[in-house]
Structure 1
């Protein structure tokens, strides 16, 4: 399969039958352990693409091994999805952040969500980080539905972490606990030393689901997997005392401003909390003085009169001085992959073309 290529060129990921078997075994342990009732009674709505590792591992391989029912949609339509949930008694809805946002908007407009979504037991979100705000909005309109997040990569055959909420431990903003038979450590990306709980660093993973190599790319393979078999994921995470992991951003996406390191996701979460902003993305722009400066791409609501100063001021009130947005670009949409990941390489192209105008 091929990696998403959100920050650069997509790479061919060589996965073996052994990787797939490991994935199925871990999937069954993780999924089946969550339910007291038979997993064969679960009904899943499939909207995520199956050419991506998320959809492939879940619908093409994983759920079939559990004997679950799968309802397929050729393409996602929010109102049609709600009809299918009601008609087929869908219990589980795996999705990505943009679809979650649409689901919340539809639920807000519903007169009786318990009737419209009465069969729905759980919504799971993956493939890209989900903001705290959209999770809070989700529980306001669908309080009877559980919500979990998970983490995986093409390079790990989709195996990584899985949300595992209980009545005693609802950590909805977490990407969950480490999958069985997988090892993980959080490494300081400067010193290469392992970090304790509550410190953010690069996530390294090791286990039977790790890819063999990148196709025809020995250099990239050596950079990704060390001699002991540890995969450098490139994702910045931390873990708490209970072992729950929290993802912040991609290491490649970190903006280095005047010696400081800024995670775009932190600024994006603040931006989309503004009532006039529908969507936002932040990238770094090269600067002769500061190295890089944070630039925000912003999609505003219809009729909004927000200007650059308004956006920059809104963020400045909530962050340290070095984290301030230095430039704002208003756009009609944020380019994203089929699974909801921001295509930052496309934003960099847009920024570079606008600079030449």
Structure 2
């Protein structure tokens, strides 16, 4: 008997989840922060700085969120306005994020390694009215002409906040700096309670899209709520016979400004009562110390991080007995990486997942407690989601076992590409299907396998890099007539960009000249976090 009859329809070519549907809130006026903090649990410590031990408890968390929201109101931030988060991984990141969206404003987190030009482009494109940053990156905002809340990056283990006077300090004459202590100590009773619709935009995130230049993805409160339920809380429910959410200790190595880190570590896990140990920057030795010292049970990862864990285990003979689960996303794991990891850590459940910024990270997840382990698969379709596998040339839907482009539909799908109606229409069709650009197939049990990419995107260290963005930089050189960038496989990073350059007639341009030119441009963020 064909088991696919329950989750695949020959009539319309639609794949359904093998899991039962999950109820989502029907009240249209529920915001993501209120929904997330409404869940009951027995968690005590919410967030902890791995290097200093500074922590934020679950008792403090709602108070801090309301205080910052009150501060935003006093500064003059209104519902629907955009606030930039130029922050590294830190204990305050989730608090600031939840405060912004609870106030009805829109958060736009960015890679803090972004260049001045990239930051200014985001500020202008999204009409940013305020920014949060740390002193290390303050110089990048000094000419932005918007208020900046300066967050202390390294809190001591015990910190006490006293309401102070607002500091207004000129940065190169164009931006005022507001004390984070003042914002954090604002009376939470003055926090606004805006009427937020689930369809209101909560987050604007950069993405390379499914093709062409990078775009800005508009994610709604409904999208975030769906991710909490269909990704985070649903996955936790599968493991309730083994442990409860508040008994888990997650190590945050992946960046919170990335969709994976944002919806899982900066929001979703807080609904379970999990303890989240936050590393500012990746360091193999520090990671090993954290796993052992904090009794880490779970690590959300990307392929390069799985390789690093394996390397540590081999070289230094770490067993990491507390570690229960590692789940990798952002790019497929190679068979070699899977085999070596399982050999070094046979007691650790290894899984893979699939999601995009455009799906709010909802998509597929390898259930690590499944009886049959299919490590090379990115897993089963999430509840409430639908999929198609489409022959791009013929436009026909394909059954299990046949390879085509993955289309997705469901509550996790983004609202739009912000301020880009044309790009939105080219990615989401009139029936609501998101054309992912990934080439895939389902097996007979409903597990999905990524084969290739139709879309013109390079995945490096879990980041999506649009070749078109790199092409545009290369052709700025006066001796380059044309250029094309492509990705090639790399064991450590997944892929790396390689440029093919056509020199102008008579030019002596060398490979080193091209590399130096690109390195000198204040246009590219560093993709290695």
Helix, strand or coil at the partner of 2:331 = coil
Query: Which stretch shows the higher mean deviation, 204-213 or 157-166?
Result: 157-166
The aligned residue for residue 355 of structure 2 is 152
Q: Matches of 2:287 and 2:222 in 1, distance apart?
A: 35
The aligned residue for residue 247 of structure 2 is 41
1:351 equivalenced with 2:351 (yes/no): no
Map 1:104-119 onto structure 2 (within 5 A): 104-111=310-317, 113-114=318-319, 117-119=320-322
- Count residues with an aligned counterpart: 277
* 1:90-138 CA distance string (max 9 Å, x none): 0001111111111111111133x43xx0000011100112111110110
Q: Matches of 1:212 and 1:299 in 2, distance apart?
A: 34
Unpaired stretches in structure 2, ≥5 consecutive residues: 1-203, 460-466, 468-484, 511-529
The aligned residue for residue 331 of structure 1 is none
Map 1:85-164 onto structure 2 (within 5 A): 85-111=291-317, 113-114=318-319, 117-164=320-367
Q: Matches of 1:343 and 1:221 in 2, distance apart?
A: 28
The aligned residue for residue 411 of structure 2 is 208
CA contact (8 A) 1:47 1:72 kept: yes
CA contact (8 A) 2:304 2:494 kept: no
Runs of 4+ in 1 over 6 A off after TM superposition: none
Q: Matches of 1:178 and 1:134 in 2, distance apart?
A: 24
TM-score normalised by structure 2 residue count: 0.49
Unpaired stretches in structure 1, ≥5 consecutive residues: 255-263, 266-282, 284-293, 301-333, 335-339
Q: Matches of 1:41 and 1:85 in 2, distance apart?
A: 15
Greater RCO, CA 8 A, separation 6+: 2
1:62 equivalenced with 2:62 (yes/no): no
1:77 equivalenced with 2:226 (yes/no): no
Helix, strand or coil at the partner of 2:327 = strand
Query: Which stretch shows the higher mean deviation, 140-149 or 3-12?
Result: 3-12
Helix, strand or coil at the partner of 2:326 = strand
1:196 equivalenced with 2:399 (yes/no): yes
Measured on the aligned residues, the alpha-carbon RMSD in Å equals 2.7
Map 1:1-357 onto structure 2 (within 5 A): 1-5=204-208, 8-27=212-231, 28-36=233-241, 37-111=243-317, 113-114=318-319, 117-166=320-369, 168-253=371-456, 342=495, 344=497, 347=498, 350-352=499-501, 357=510
Q: Matches of 2:503 and 2:305 in 1, distance apart?
A: 30
Shift of 1:154: 0.7
Task: Name which one, 1 or 2, has greater alpha-carbon Rg.
Answer: 2
Q: Matches of 1:247 and 1:3 in 2, distance apart?
A: 23
Q: Matches of 2:278 and 2:329 in 1, distance apart?
A: 18
Shift of 1:245: 0.4
Shift of 1:71: 0.3
Q: 1:56 to 1:354 in 2, by over 3 A?
A: farther
Shift of 1:44: 0.3
Q: Matches of 2:254 and 2:404 in 1, distance apart?
A: 29
Q: Matches of 1:3 and 1:89 in 2, distance apart?
A: 34
Shift of 1:41: 0.2
